[in-house]
Chain A
Amino acid sequence: MSQSNLQTPVSRLGQWLASPLNPRQYLELINPLWANRCCGEVVAIRRETDAAVTLEINPNHLWNGAVSGQYVRLGIDVEGVRYWRCYSVASAQMPTDRTFSVTIGRVDGGRVSTHIQDALRVGDVIALDQATGDFTLPTSASQTPLLFISAGTGVTPIAGMLRHLRDTGVEADVVHLHYAPDQRRCLFAEELAAFNQLSSFRTHQLYTRADGAAKSSSHFSLQQLSAICPDWAERKAYVCGPVPLMDAVRQVWSDGNLSEQLTEECFQPVRADVPTGAGGQVSFWKAGSEVAGAGDKSLLEVAEDAGLLPAHGCRMGICQGCIVTLKEGQVRDLTTGDVFGEAGESIRICVCAAAGDVTIDL
């Protein structure tokens, strides 16, 4: 008899005995990782720079693992309230029974990143969501020449991919350009430099704000790219970093009619640089409640502050995990500044704010 056949009647009996709860809600009294929700224990915290730490996380049995370069949402409790944030998996691809790591930079005034840096402790259990995203290596990495461009903490998903290639011994042809202010503030500086010892890897750390001779670079430009990597146009390219870098890189590839070869990963929401409107009353159709929604605050945040738990993913308008039907009124897309909305239309509540009174199907 297979194990699953054995487990089914037993686990069903457990469900009946534990009703209305789940048996795992009793098991988690003994070990929090036995819960019936996806979660992980922080097993190590490593300081990378003054402003960044790496968390080593031991996920429970419900986590499905991650492919290098994907991102994962962590649910961190700050002052008793759970906040979800997306972080790239920085470790090499792993089987589901191993730990994984994320590297988190401090965001000035950022509630969650500050809490992680200052208050999170080894042994804490945090909520997890499944890893997702398509910022990943091609299936034929050994036959495809690769180019990675990153800046700041944008290096984390790329570090994950590089570590995966290194650890699995894939002979990939890799060029990596990484921009950091200076060596002190460069994430994984030593490890990145060590990649050059691998025959097929070339990594370049470009310090844009160091003093004197240490200042090795200006910001990204086509001229610089061509000098470092003359065959850039023949490579499959990946870029991850702050908005100005992303814009500059996208422009170069688009000018060369090569946009299809470029894969992008943005780690901060791109908000339109336009004045936002006045907002309005936000009504929740299913919950039957109503609160004020500011014109520059996403409907997702408005709903969360009202005590609702809307399903969502990336929180920056990419993954479509937060789609909700608009019942009445109009919304402003915070990434473009456009005001739109017809009753029945699907909207991404993580990047849309109230533009006047709105009713949404939550």
Chain B
Amino acid sequence: MNAPLTLSAEQIKQFESQTGLPYNLSDEQVQSFGAEIEALRGRIMSTLGERDARYIRKVIKAQRWLEIGGRGLLFAGILPPAWLAGTAMLGAAKIIENMEIGHNVMHGQWDWMRDPQIHSSTWEWDTVCPSSDWKHSHNHLHHKWTNVVGMDRDVGYGILRMSEEQKWTPYHLGQPVWNLLLAVFFEWGVALHDLETEKLASGEKTWKESVPFLKGVWKKVKKQTLKDYVLFPLLAGPFFLPVLAGNFTANIIRNLWTYMIIFCGHFPAGVTHFTPKDVENEDKARWYIRQLLGSANIRGGKLMNLMSGNLSFQIEHHLFPGMASNRYAEASIEVEKICQKYGLPYNAHGLGRQFGTTLARVFRLSLPNRRDTVTA
């Protein structure tokens, strides 16, 4: 057998006995890393002010104008250029609303402004997933238990096998197809996230128990569908079909893009997945290290940062989920320096590499683990 390129099982065990995690830092170094990250958080949070408030209000205004413009152009959608431009604008508006505004507002990143109109307790976003469900499954489960297989349901959303630690079954052979369907209908996947389909399939949970949850989702679905697929097309009169097609396409564009950004956050090559044992007795410093090792950034320009809702700084978002997103760029410079100092990996690459290796993982893990790796 070839010598493994990665850490041997003995080496990992040795590190784990020292630190509880697969990296080589003394407990003192772990604590001092945590303290530096915490200090950075404090430094940036203490300078939030007027400039940041202006930023989010500007983004919200621009997003609403973009949406009005897109829907307006679609009314002239019988002309192909107007249809294309209108659809693209509406798709972009929905992406910005979901990513840079909705997702981040619901994290409480702007609660410090005390503006009830831009507040985590009041924000409802433009997708079929009710914001209250999202705040539970995403903010609580995913951000607290990031990449812990069996605890963080974002590891494959109960549909895909995204970590070697997840058990393989013949169902996973169809994973490339399930993955494509999830990408296209991502907002529905997000909305049904808390349904816990895998538990329904195994009989651990009954459909009856899911009725109140489904009723809540249905209420939101009705409103979203009525708006995009009935009222706006009807309002267009003879141009019913172009508007319907434009709205549908804009929603799919949004789905594909958000799927891609979110999957690039935790599944590119080099991110670590954890077991519940790894997080026993985890303190704040170790929690920071897990967030770092379990997340990946996308290197890109300002447009990428805006359109990804600054999840191009997924590492910083996971270290500081409550920090205003426009500050992640400056935080990332410091975080990368601190990582270099402690010899910790900082997973930041272009979109092609991050998404390419993510897709490779989807295909690779549709098959059972190869026996010559960790278990050798």
Q: Which residues of A contact B (CB under 8 A)?
A: 13, 16-17, 19-21, 25-26, 29, 37, 77, 79-83, 304, 307-309
Contacts of A82 in B (CB 8 A): 113-115
Interface contacts beyond A20-B224, A79-B49, A81-B114: sample of 9 additional A-B pairs, CB < 8 Å, sorted by A: A16-B226, A19-B224, A20-B223, A26-B64, A29-B61, A29-B64, A80-B49, A81-B49, A307-B108
B 153-189 contacts with A by CB, 8 A: none
Known: A13-B231, A81-B114. A20 touches B61 (CB 8 A): no
- B123 nearest in chain A by CB position: A20
In angstroms, Cα B223 to Cα A13, docked, is: 12
Q: Which 10 A-B pairs have the closest CB atoms?
A: A80-B53, A307-B111, A20-B124, A82-B114, A79-B49, A19-B223, A80-B50, A80-B49, A79-B50, A19-B227
25 cross-chain CB contacts under 8 A: A16-B223, A16-B226, A16-B227, A17-B231, A17-B232, A20-B124, A20-B126, A20-B220, A20-B223, A21-B124, A26-B64, A26-B68, A29-B65, A37-B116, A79-B50, A80-B48, A80-B50, A80-B51, A80-B113, A81-B114, A82-B113, A304-B114, A307-B111, A307-B114, A308-B121
Say yes or no: is B2 at the interface (Cβ < 8 Å to chain A).
no
Interface SS, B side: helix
- A305 nearest in chain B by CB position: B112
B 276-320 contacts with A by CB, 8 A: none
The answer to whether B114 and A309 have CB atoms under 8 Å apart is yes
In angstroms, Cα B53 to Cα A82, docked, is: 11
In angstroms, Cα B15 to Cα A211, docked, is: 81
Say yes or no: is B119 at the interface (Cβ < 8 Å to chain A).
yes
Contact code string B102-133 (vs A, CB < 8 Å = 1, else 0) = 00000010011111110111001110000000
Output the least CB separation between A200 and chain B (Å): 46
Say yes or no: is B38 at the interface (Cβ < 8 Å to chain A).
no
In angstroms, Cα B231 to Cα A83, docked, is: 40
Which of A16, A37, A83 makes the CB contact (< 8 A) with B117?
Answer: A37
Contacts of A37 in B (CB 8 A): 116-117
Contacts of A79 in B (CB 8 A): 49-50
Contacts of B116 in A (CB 8 A): 37, 309
- B122 nearest in chain A by CB position: A309
The answer to whether B113 and A81 have CB atoms under 8 Å apart is yes
In angstroms, Cα B110 to Cα A307, docked, is: 8
The answer to whether A81 and B232 have CB atoms under 8 Å apart is no
Say yes or no: is B52 at the interface (Cβ < 8 Å to chain A).
yes
B 44-59 contacts with A by CB, 8 A: 48-54
- A307 nearest in chain B by CB position: B111
Output the least CB separation between A104 and chain B (Å): 20
Output the least CB separation between A124 and chain B (Å): 13
Contact code string B25-50 (vs A, CB < 8 Å = 1, else 0) = 00000000000000000000000111
Contacts of A29 in B (CB 8 A): 61, 64-65, 68
In angstroms, Cα B228 to Cα A19, docked, is: 10
Contacts of B125 in A (CB 8 A): 20
- B53 nearest in chain A by CB position: A80
Q: Which residues of B contact A (CB under 8 A)?
A: 48-54, 61, 64-65, 68, 108, 111-117, 119-121, 124-126, 220, 223-224, 226-227, 231-232, 235
Output the least CB separation between A127 and chain B (Å): 8
In angstroms, Cα B113 to Cα A122, docked, is: 22
Contacts of B51 in A (CB 8 A): 80
Contacts of A80 in B (CB 8 A): 48-54, 112-113
In angstroms, Cα B46 to Cα A79, docked, is: 12
In angstroms, Cα B235 to Cα A19, docked, is: 15
In angstroms, Cα B350 to Cα A199, docked, is: 83
In angstroms, Cα B111 to Cα A309, docked, is: 9
Contacts of A21 in B (CB 8 A): 124
Contacts of B64 in A (CB 8 A): 25-26, 29
In angstroms, Cα B319 to Cα A105, docked, is: 44
In angstroms, Cα B119 to Cα A79, docked, is: 17
In angstroms, Cα B202 to Cα A121, docked, is: 64
In angstroms, Cα B232 to Cα A13, docked, is: 10
Output the least CB separation between A13 and chain B (Å): 7
Output the least CB separation between A101 and chain B (Å): 25
Contacts of B231 in A (CB 8 A): 13, 16-17
In angstroms, Cα B49 to Cα A79, docked, is: 5
- A20 nearest in chain B by CB position: B124
Output the least CB separation between B62 and chain A (Å): 10
Contacts of B54 in A (CB 8 A): 80
In angstroms, Cα B328 to Cα A39, docked, is: 32
In angstroms, Cα B324 to Cα A307, docked, is: 13
Identify the interface centre among B117, B121, B223, B226: most chain A CB within 10 Å of its CB: B117
Contacts of A17 in B (CB 8 A): 227, 231-232, 235
Contacts of B227 in A (CB 8 A): 16-17, 19
Output the least CB separation between B45 and chain A (Å): 11
- A26 nearest in chain B by CB position: B64
Identify the interface centre among B61, B112, B125, B224: most chain A CB within 10 Å of its CB: B112
Output the least CB separation between B119 and chain A (Å): 6
- A79 nearest in chain B by CB position: B49
Contacts of A19 in B (CB 8 A): 223-224, 226-227
Which of B53, B112, B226 makes the CB contact (< 8 A) with A307?
Answer: B112
The answer to whether B124 and A309 have CB atoms under 8 Å apart is no
The answer to whether B224 and A309 have CB atoms under 8 Å apart is no
